[in-house]
């Protein structure tokens, strides 16, 4: 349960979970954008071999920015787990990342997010609210 107030209260806990969610979503969006910009790795491998496919990934700056944000998300998760209960951090960060990924996929990657996914996102938000209170 989220504590009421103070330095170890609600806002500090919310900030720790938000850091995990925002870093994770940013990393996943950047990595997905990188992979879309690279193209089909199977085709690249067929033309240039495995070394060509690896080179295509390793020469894409977006890929490294994505990996960097995913590393920040991992260390943010470790920090949050050090200060908050697992029973709060794991479901809240995973669930909210699902919601932010749907939003970011729609806005930044122009993905088709159907009604079923939006409904799932709303239900996840309700679940996180119930978990936190």
pLDDT tens per residue across span 36-59: 999 999 999 999 999 999 999 999
- The whole-angstrom separation of Cα 89 and Cα 20 is 9
Mean pLDDT, range 83-96, rounded to an integer = 89
Closest CA to 62 of 102, 108, 1, 93: 108
Q: With a cut of 50, say whether residue 126 has pLDDT above it.
A: yes
**pLDDT at residue 7 in the model:** 47
Neighbours of 9 (CB within 10 A): 12
Residue 65 has pLDDT above 60, yes or no: yes
Domain ranges of the chain: 10-132
- Compute the mean pLDDT over every residue in the chain, rounded to the nearest whole number: 90
Tell me the whole-structure pTM to 2 decimals.
Answer: 0.84
């Amino acid at each position: 349960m989220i504590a009421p107030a103070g330095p170890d209260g609600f806002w500090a806990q919310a900030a720790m979970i938000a850091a995990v969610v925002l870093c994770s979503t940013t990393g996943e969006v950047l990595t997905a954008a990188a992979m879309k910009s690279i193209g089909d790795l199977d085709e690249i491998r067929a033309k240039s071999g495995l070394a060509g496919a690896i080179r295509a990934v390793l020469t894409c700056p977006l890929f490294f920015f994505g990996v960097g944000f995913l590393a920040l998300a991992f260390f943010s998760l470790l920090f949050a787990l050090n200060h908050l209960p697992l029973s709060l951090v794991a479901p809240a960060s995973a669930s909210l990342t699902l919601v932010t990924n749907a939003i970011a996929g729609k806005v930044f990657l122009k993905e088709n997010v159907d009604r079923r996914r939006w409904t799932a996102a709303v239900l996840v938000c309700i679940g996180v609210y119930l978990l936190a209170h």
